[in-house]
A and B are shown apart, each in its own frame.
Chain A
Amino acid sequence: MSYSKRNDGRGFDELRPIEAKAGVIKSADGSAMFKIGKTVAYAVVRGPRDLYPKFLKDPTKGILRVNYQMMPFSGVGERIKPGPNRRAKEISMVTEHALSNIIILEKFPNSVVDVYIDIPQADAGTRCAGISAAAIALADAGIPMKEMVSAVAVGRVGDKLVVDLDYSEESFEGGASDMPVAVTSRTKKISLLQMDGELEASQLKELLEKARKACAQINEIQKSALKEKYNVEEVEENDSE
């Protein structure tokens, strides 16, 4: 079954409209909101802080804990049962792996950084939105990082290769496969790669290339979200001089 035009009229390589903001939750050490189309992710960072229970402490490096969850009302269908489930645990784990590669954990031994990712509204690509939000929140919290990370889902809908699938595309009748990819900002390394569905080897290569390009775009938005929060200070400084 062919997929000639995207459901929301985008180009096949086009991302949904993105909005990002740093420092949205004042009580946190760092926080961010990342919105891509109808998918919204909030990330909160607390730490580095003292780690309990004590036996979890690692004297050589800090520990990163990620907790991802979807809010009960975030879906379009039935209420999502709150609390950890198989899917949330898996996503928490892969996000943790994607982020622990970029954070310089050796700088805060014996302590922990907690990242909480909440999805108030979901329209596919929540783990990617979560990672993109978490990267902004970590930088906002002043956590030392080698670089930033951005994530996007790419995939095949019908016979077309597309970037940033929404829910209607993920559940396309003619068959679809999606592949969340996280790419670091400077070295362009892949820190998350999962796949749901079937792809041919040549398609995979093409999609990875598309994901790299899309992540570079997202990274620019993440950067400007951070600079926007702190730039207010810079502008005022120039004004008063």
Chain B
Amino acid sequence: MTEESKLLIKEKEIVVPGEELAKGMDFLPSAGSYRSEDAIVSEVLGIAKVDGKVIKVVPLTGKYMPKRNDVIIVQVSDVTYSSWSLDTFSPYSAMMSMKDATAEYLERGADLTKIYNIGDYIVAKVTNVTSQKLVDITVKGPGLRKLRKGRIIHVNSNKVPRIIGKQGSMVNIIKEHTGAQVAVGQNGVVWIYSENPEMENLSEKAIRKIEDEAHTSGLTEKMQVWLAEQVGGKK
């Protein structure tokens, strides 16, 4: 590293747009930052993370933006002659064609509402996002399906990684303790279902709690204790 290159922020520091993160050509801008002459500058409000030479800013707020390979929960907003129009709870709506929706053979002019009707929620995967933000979605893949029964809640999409946890640890804790089925979409839409309404309520409460305390560390252990207490109290 040359003498002139200098990091101007600390790891995990909160930065605002326009704040200089580093000087010198030895650093590289990643998501949430850009290069301006010899400086690396933040372009969002977020937490700066330095990984070797690469600097990125993880946003603290903002709307969900569809990204390729994200698993999200969408709602059918319209059904056309050969496709479905879906609300992704982001600034952009998505389209799903017949071949992405189902494996079964559909005759010409078949009634598509019999497969997915308006208002249905679907766990789906983003297959492609164009530069003009046209979003393609598929239901073909493991775990992708139409959601029946249960409830839908909306959470801050920036906190979804915390709700899911490392390798799904957090969501699994909720599932284990409450016995409820939970599906978390990257877009901040969460589906919960349990035969026992109390457990469904408890799962929702747990998710809200994680959302509120997303910034605290050791949350997984804390939730484990909290859920055990709550479930114990209900029995």
Please indicate the chain B residues that have their CB under 8 angstroms from the CB of A110 in the complex.
92, 132-133
A118 at the interface (CB under 8 A from B): no
Inter-subunit contact A104/B43 (CB<8 Å): yes
Inter-subunit contact A231/B14 (CB<8 Å): yes
Please indicate the chain A residues that have their CB under 8 angstroms from the CB of B65 in the complex.
108
In angstroms, Cα B14 to Cα A148, docked, is 15
Inter-subunit contact A230/B17 (CB<8 Å): no
Inter-subunit contact B41/A141 (CB<8 Å): no
Known A234-B215, A241-B217; contact A141-B62, beta-carbon cutoff 8 A? yes
B165 at the interface (CB under 8 A from A): no
Inter-subunit contact A236/B133 (CB<8 Å): no
Which of B18, B19, B60 touches A142 (beta carbons < 8 Å)? B60
Q: How many residues of A contact B (CB 8 A)?
A: 39
Write the B11-53 contact mask toward A (1 if CB under 8 angstroms, else 0): 0101011111000000000001010100001011110000000
Write the B207-224 contact mask toward A (1 if CB under 8 angstroms, else 0): 000000011111000000
Inter-subunit contact B45/A185 (CB<8 Å): no
Which of A140, A145, A185, A227 touches B61 (beta carbons < 8 Å)? A140
Please indicate the chain A residues that have their CB under 8 angstroms from the CB of B161 in the complex.
none
B83 at the interface (CB under 8 A from A): no
Write the B185-224 contact mask toward A (1 if CB under 8 angstroms, else 0): 0000000000000000000000000000011111000000
In angstroms, Cα B216 to Cα A24, docked, is 23
In angstroms, Cα B216 to Cα A237, docked, is 5
Known A104-B43, A143-B62, A146-B18; contact A109-B217, beta-carbon cutoff 8 A? no
B2 at the interface (CB under 8 A from A): no
Q: How many residues of B contact A (CB 8 A)?
A: 33
Inter-subunit contact A227/B14 (CB<8 Å): yes
In angstroms, Cα B16 to Cα A184, docked, is 13
Please indicate the chain A residues that have their CB under 8 angstroms from the CB of B214 in the complex.
233
Known A236-B216, A237-B217; contact A148-B16, beta-carbon cutoff 8 A? yes
Which of B41, B60, B133 touches A147 (beta carbons < 8 Å)? B41
Please indicate the chain A residues that have their CB under 8 angstroms from the CB of B36 in the complex.
186-187
In angstroms, Cα B63 to Cα A136, docked, is 16
A165 at the interface (CB under 8 A from B): no
Residues of A near any B CB (own CB < 8 A)? 29-30, 47-50, 59, 102, 104, 108-111, 139-148, 184-187, 222-223, 226-227, 230-231, 233-234, 236-237, 240-241
CB-defined A-B contacts under 8 Å, sample of 24: A29-B61, A29-B63, A50-B92, A108-B91, A109-B131, A109-B133, A110-B132, A111-B91, A111-B133, A141-B61, A142-B44, A142-B61, A143-B62, A145-B43, A146-B34, A223-B19, A226-B45, A230-B14, A230-B45, A233-B215, A236-B215, A237-B217, A240-B216, A240-B218
